[in-house]
Structures are given as structure tokens and as C-alpha cells.
Amino acid sequence: MRYISTRARPTGTVGSSKPTFSEILLGGLAPDGGLYLPETYPRIDQSELARWRRLSYADLACAVLARFIDDIPPDDLRTLTHRTYTAAIYSNGRNDSVASEITPLRWLDPPAPERGEGGLAILELSNGPTLAFKDMAMQLLGHLFEYVLTRNGEEINILGATSGDTGSSAEYAMRGKRGVRVFMLSPHQRMSAFQRAQMYSLQDPNIYNIAVRGTFDDAQDIVKAVSNDHAFKTRYRIGAVNSINWARVAAQVVYYFKGYFAATGGAGGNEGQQVAFAVPSGNFGNICAGHIARMMGLPIGRLILATNENDVLDEFFRSGVYRPRATSETAATSSPSMDISKASNFERFAFDLVGRDPEVIRRLWSAVDRGDSFDLSAERCFARLPDFGFVSGRSTHADRLETIRRTHDRYGLIIDPHTADGLKVGSERRTAEMPMVVLETALPAKFEETIVEALGRTPDRPATMEGLEKLPQRVEIMDVSVDQVQRFIVQHVP
């Protein structure tokens, strides 16, 4: 398996080589500023789906990832997935059979075939150490980084940006890892108190938190600028753990397969049954993994993209216009991890949408990088959008509160505000003929203020997280400045 950039130059030009998985694992952005994707998507037939249906999560992860990784020996890859996906890591302190499923499916409305109803379910993805779906990929990424760095005798300095959950997931996955330092940027005072405490209370010497006086997009722009400074990136071995890192997206593909199997009857299910997935979307990485699973042959009938008030992605899927917002136009909402107006992973889908033409992507994203928009509504490729299964919708603060209340009253379940966005939009786009699975984003304990507003009570939290906000915090506050961030890295790298 070889990889190409979404902005690849023609074969024979500088930077036109096709690297392997391990070669792109540590680097993040391609040298040309694009994002890596497989040269071709592996295809899975129904007989393979039937075999995969019976696998444990760790074995399924190994089977899926082996289709993208051919430069890590199969036995080593299996060791890494089994070290990652254990009930001890994904239990939230529970000691029951459900924990061993890693991503248990919770039916809200079970399927009723006699009435032609496919059912409504939530796929639990937030049982990892930081209570967010990002743990599903990040824990594996930590082991992959350590494996490749040890094999190569190298070190890496990870530079990332977070809107709330990526940062803590990355830091918990990388803390104490040999040869790894983490420099994580976050938007100052734009995350929940719980999210800030999870990150800033870590005292591990290889973890550095930087809060920038701006939005997530400002932080993300700094990461991209540093990554595009090739001399600095090479000298200080800068890597990435954001979802611009292909390994993150590849690891997220796994739970679409697991969720599909659970929603279609478990070990004895029907491989032809289509399933819809509703996905809260900010940076487009989570739903991009669903797109890739679908391209591999998983029978996904619909990918339902849910945004909050920062509805850049919903606007594109409705109109064909991709119009990133300025910092001043990016709202601070009660689903803060989705307060994003420039979705990095959207470039990966756009690459497929325009027929994998890197020249088109270079042209479109040169406009985006200038702060402009682009319009594909009149292009032939946009007419093909239904072929990819995407539909979209928008949720507001009032919608979130109402969805949280209704879900609690009807099902006795408390959901976090991002999952509420997904459930609200998914319910609006739901069709009777296929099950709909809403991807859980985080546990409600991470967003107590909104839960209290909706229900008048605080959500339960794992015992290990009690008193988290009272712990000492360690964070550097900076202006939105590439130079300041680079100076900080230089000061803390031997």
C-alpha cells in the first residue's frame, strides 16, 4: 500500500514519490501541503465481511488496518492492536461483559421489521481514558508512534491543535512514551472546564500545553504553518496527531465496521443490509473515516453530517459553496469541540469528489488558504454528491438542550451536547428502511454546565475523574503567533 497527497505533483517532479504507511505516520501534512490518502482504497467483499463480523474489536482492527499497512509485520500489528483495545482501557471503571465489546451499541428504538422500522441506536465510543471518541484512534497512535520510533532509533516532537477532545486524548496516549514530546495548542477559554483540566493538569515532563488567544482555527493555522516550514519541521522532527494524520483516520474506520455488524444482527447478520450513520462533525475526520469505510465496500446507505451553529460543512453539502468563516464569525457554542470553520479533513473528501484531481484541489485550496471560498454547485462533480451517501443538517443550542431533555425523559439516558447534535440531525434525516446509528462523541461529564442547564442536575463521572478541576494546572498562554510557538518549541527541545 502506497500513499499519495491530495495536492500531488505529477510523477517525476520533486516531492512526487509515494511513501509507505510508516513513512507518513510521523509527518502529518505532505511536503506539498496536502493530506495523505491511499493510492487506491482496498475493497472488501461480502465473504470477508462475514468473516470480520465474528472478530473481536482488536482482531477487527488488525484486519482493517492490515489493508492500509504493509510495512509493519502482521504479528507486530496484531500485538499493537491487542495492546490497545482491551476492556481495561475502554471500561470507564465498569467490570461487565459490555466493556469487552470496546464500542457497545445501545438501542434507543430497537428494529421492528414487522413495521418496516430499522431502529435507532447510539454507538458508544467514549469509554476510553479521556471519555471521548478520540481515544479510539489516539491510543493506537501512541503505540504505533513508539513502535516506529524505537525501530528507527528516532525521536519526534508532536505539534497539534485541539478544539477540546483531541488534545487530552493525544496527551493521555503519548504521556511517558519513549522518544515523544507533545506540544498541544488549544483556544484560550473556549473549552469546557473539564476539558481544560484534563489537559492542563497533566504534569508529565514530555507534555506541553499552549493556550492561544483565538479560536481552534487560529491554533490549527499555526500547526499548518509550522508544518509547512520544511526546514524547521525537519530540524525539530515535527509530527502530527490531529486528524490530518492518516493513521488517526484509518483507526477510526474500524468502528464503522464494528457498528455496522452490531446494528445488523451481530455474528449472524445480513451483509447486504444498509445502515445510516449520523456523525457530529467539526473537523470532518470522524465522518471522513465513514466515507472511507463506505468506499471500501461497507454497506453504508447514508452518512448524516451534523454541525452546530458553525455550519460551514452543512452549507457546502446543501449548496456546493465551501465558505470558511473568519475568527470573528466563529461562534463559541455549547458543543465547543465542533466550533470549527475550516475543516482540515474535508480536503480528503473533496479530492475524491473531484475525481482525485490534485490540480483541482491545489486550485480550490489556494483560495481557502487566502481566506476565500469556492463554489462547486455548477460543477459536474457536485451533481455526483448523492453517489457518496452524504446528507447534512444543523443543530443549535436550543436544539441541543431539547434533545438532551427528550433523550433523558424517553430513554433514561444522558448524552453530551455533541452527541445531541448528531441525534437531532440524524433523527430528522432518518429513513425507515435502514437502522440509524448515532456516533457518540463524549460522555456528558465533560460538559456539566450544559447538562445542568438542560436537566437541572450534574451528570455522573467516573471515580478517577472526581476533583479533576481542582488539580494544579500547567499551561502557557500565547498570542496567535507562529513565531512564539516555534520559539517555545526550540526552548524545550534538547
Contact criterion met (CB below 8 Å) for 126 and 441: yes
Return the C-alpha cell found at 362.
491545489
Q: What is the mean pLDDT of residues 428-444?
A: 95
Q: What is the mean pLDDT of residues 199-205?
A: 95
The whole-chain average pLDDT of the chain stands at 92
Return the top range by mean pLDDT from 28-42, 60-74, 464-478. Answer: 60-74
Domains belonging to the chain, first-starting first, are: 100-129+247-455 (3.40.50.1100)
pLDDT reported for residue 161: 92
| Structure confidence by residue, pLDDT tens digits, 402-429 | 999 999 999 999 999 999 999 999 999 9
Give residue 243's pLDDT band: very low, low, confident or very high (50, 70, 90): confident
Give residue 9's pLDDT band: very low, low, confident or very high (50, 70, 90): confident
pLDDT reported for residue 14: 46
| Structure confidence by residue, pLDDT tens digits, 213-237 | 999 889 989 998 998 898 999 999 9
Ranges 30-39, 104-113, 264-273, 370-379: which has the least confidence: 264-273
pTM (predicted TM-score): 0.91
pLDDT reported for residue 240: 82
pLDDT reported for residue 472: 96
Q: What is the mean pLDDT of residues 40-58?
A: 95
Q: Is 458's pLDDT higher than 90?
A: yes
pLDDT reported for residue 165: 80
| 43-47 long-range contacts, CB within 8 A, separation 24+ | 43/296, 43/297, 44/296, 44/297, 44/298, 45/297, 46/271, 46/272
Give residue 159's pLDDT band: very low, low, confident or very high (50, 70, 90): very high
Ranges 112-116, 140-144, 327-331, 474-478: which has the least confidence: 112-116
Q: Is 131's pLDDT higher than 80?
A: yes
Catalytic residues: 134
Q: What is the mean pLDDT of residues 193-202?
A: 93
Return the C-alpha cell found at 381.
462533480
Written as one letter, the residue type at 187 is P
φ and ψ at residue 251, rounded to 5 degrees: -65, -30
- Angle CA(160)–CA(165)–CA(171) in degrees, nearest 5? 55
pLDDT reported for residue 13: 44
pLDDT reported for residue 12: 44
Q: What is the mean pLDDT of residues 102-127?
A: 92
Q: Is 96's pLDDT higher than 80?
A: no
Contact criterion met (CB below 8 Å) for 281 and 287: yes
Written as one letter, the residue type at 293 is A
pLDDT reported for residue 64: 98
pLDDT reported for residue 17: 73
Sign of CA dihedral 317, 319, 320, 322: negative
Give percent above pLDDT 70 in the chain: 97
Q: How many CB atoms lie within 10 A of CB 327?
A: 14
pLDDT reported for residue 11: 53
Nearest to 123 by CA among 144, 146, 106, 141: 106
pLDDT reported for residue 117: 84
Residue 483: left if φ>0, alpha if ψ -120 to 50, beta else—which one? alpha
| Structure confidence by residue, pLDDT tens digits, 292-334 | 999 999 999 999 999 999 999 999 999 999 999 988 899 999 9
